[in-house]
C-alpha cells in the first residue's frame, strides 16, 4: 500500500453548520456537496476532507447510531480496481485488521469498498471509485454520483 491517505472523513451532527463554517468561515470551496449527507473539500494534492452526517456515517459503517465503533473518523485509500479492494482488505486482515464490511458495492456513487478496523480501532475504507481521479498536479476529480 502506498503511504498516503486520500480521504479523511469526519462525522458531524450538524452538516449545515459544518458546511457554513468551512465555506463561509474559512472560504473553502466544496469539491462535491450532497445536501443532507456529505460535503467534500480538497485540502491538499490528492487529499480530501469530508464531513458526513452522523446518522448516514453510522449506516455507512453498518454499525448503527449507538454502537461505540462509530468513532467519527475513517481513513480511506483508493485502489485501481475491484480485485485490489479484496487483496488489500485481505492483507490488512492478515496483519491484525478486522474486516467490518467485506468487499461490496457501496451506497455512494458506484464505489466498491471494504471497511477494515486496524488494531487501534481506526476504520479504513479501501475503495475503488470510478469517479475518483487525481491529475498530475494533484488536483482531485470527484464525479457526482448517479
Cα three-residue angle 74-135-118, rounded to 5 degrees: 20
* 10 vs 29, more confident: 29
Residue 145 pLDDT > 70: no
Domain locations in the chain? 7-142
Phi, psi of 55 (to 5 degrees): -65, -45
Is the domain 7-142 a CATH 3.10.180.10 member?
Answer: yes
- Which tens digits make up the pLDDT trace of 91-128? 999 998 999 999 999 887 789 999 998 877 778 899 99
- pLDDT by residue (tens digit) across 45-58? 999 999 899 888 88
In this predicted structure, the answer to whether residue 146 has a pLDDT above a threshold of 70 is no
Question: Do 131 and 145 meet the contact criterion of CB atoms below 8 Å apart?
Answer: yes
Is 64 a residue whose pLDDT tops 70? no
Share of the chain above pLDDT 70, in %: 91
Residue 27 confidence (pLDDT): 87
Of 104 and 59, the one with more pLDDT: 104
The larger pLDDT score, comparing residue 72 to residue 6, is at 6
Is the separation of the CB atoms in 10 and 52 below 8 Å?
yes
Cα–Cα distance, 80 to 33 (Å, whole number): 24
3-state SS of the chain: helix, strand, coil percent to 5?
Answer: 20, 40, 40
- Reading the block at residue 86, the C-alpha cell is 479484496
Dihedral of CA 80/85/87/91: which sign? positive
Amino acid at each position: 500500500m502506498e503511504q498516503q491517505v486520500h480521504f479523511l472523513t469526519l462525522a458531524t451532527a450538524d452538516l449545515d453548520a459544518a458546511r457554513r463554517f468551512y465555506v463561509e468561515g474559512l472560504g473553502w470551496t466544496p469539491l462535491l456537496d450532497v445536501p443532507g449527507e456529505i460535503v467534500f473539500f480538497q485540502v491538499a494534492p490528492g487529499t480530501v476532507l469530508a464531513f458526513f452526517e452522523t446518522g448516514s456515517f453510522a449506516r455507512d459503517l453498518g454499525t448503527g447510531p449507538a454502537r461505540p465503533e462509530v468513532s467519527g473518523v475513517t481513513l480511506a485509500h483508493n485502489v485501481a480496481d475491484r480485485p485490489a479492494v479484496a487483496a488489500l482488505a485481505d492483507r490488512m486482515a492478515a496483519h491484525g485488521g478486522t474486516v467490518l464490511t467485506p468487499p461490496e458495492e457501496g451506497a455512494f456513487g458506484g464505489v466498491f469498498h471494504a471497511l477494515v478496523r486496524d488494531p487501534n480501532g481506526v476504520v479504513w475504507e479501501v475503495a475503488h471509485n470510478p469517479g475518483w481521479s487525481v491529475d498530475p498536479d494533484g488536483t482531485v476529480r470527484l464525479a457526482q454520483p448517479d
